[in-house]
Amino acid sequence: MIELVAAATFRDYLGHYHADPALDRKKCDQVYSSWAGLSCLDKTVADAVLIIERESEIAAFATLKFVDEVETEGVLFGVAPQHQSKGLYLCLMRAVQNLSLDATRRRMTVSTQVTNTAVQKAWCRLGYEPWRSVYTFHTWLKYD
């Protein structure tokens, strides 16, 4: 199931949830597995989900949103730990690009943490260029 792949892929991921010490680590992990599962069930979360199977199991997945007639957003990608470093992420990116082009969308956006250099390198191999960056800050207000 895609939830299990997401849970393994994003365990202790260095994203903005895990960067916040005020948040429960297990709940941070659960955000990604829940997100992946809902992507398969709810069109408001994702318009399409692509998977790669290896040895009768889901090895990798990608979720997409069709933003408008021109743009596709690659929302959530995951490669199971035992299948990483085998080029599956690059395969997913190419499949997403092909699906977008088949739907006549000419632009695709993807985002990640600034520290996630592995996927940024994959994007560069496919001709992507940085467009903008955003920092996420968490603050906890104390009311007396």
Domain of 93: which CATH number?
3.40.630.30
55 occurs within a structural domain: yes
pLDDT, averaged across the chain: 89
16 occurs within a structural domain: yes
Closest among 83, 80, 86, 90 to 119, alpha carbons compared = 90
Q: Mean of the pLDDT values across residues 49-60?
A: 94
- Of 39-43, 85-89, 135-139, the range with the lowest mean pLDDT is 135-139
37 occurs within a structural domain: yes
> What is d(CA 47, CA 63) in angstroms, rounded to the nearest whole number?
8
The position carrying tokens 């997945």 is: 61
Is residue 100 classed exposed, middle or buried when 0-12, 13-18 and 19+ CB atoms within 10 A define those classes? buried
Give the C-alpha distances (Å, rounded to integers) separating 14 from 21, 41, 94, 114.
Answer: 12, 26, 25, 10
62 occurs within a structural domain: yes
Using the predicted structure, report yes or no on whether residue 118 has a pLDDT greater than 90: no
Q: Mean of the pLDDT values across residues 54-78?
A: 93
Q: Mean of the pLDDT values across residues 68-93?
A: 93
| DSSP state letter for 90 | H
Q: Looking at residue 38, what is its pLDDT?
A: 94
Total domains in the chain come to 1
138 occurs within a structural domain: no
108 occurs within a structural domain: yes
Give the C-alpha distances (Å, rounded to integers) separating 132 from 111, 113, 114, 123, 135.
Answer: 9, 12, 11, 14, 10
144 occurs within a structural domain: no
What is the domain range of residue 14? 2-125
Higher per-residue pLDDT: 32 or 115: 32
27 occurs within a structural domain: yes
pLDDT bin (cut points 50, 70, 90) of residue 2 is very high
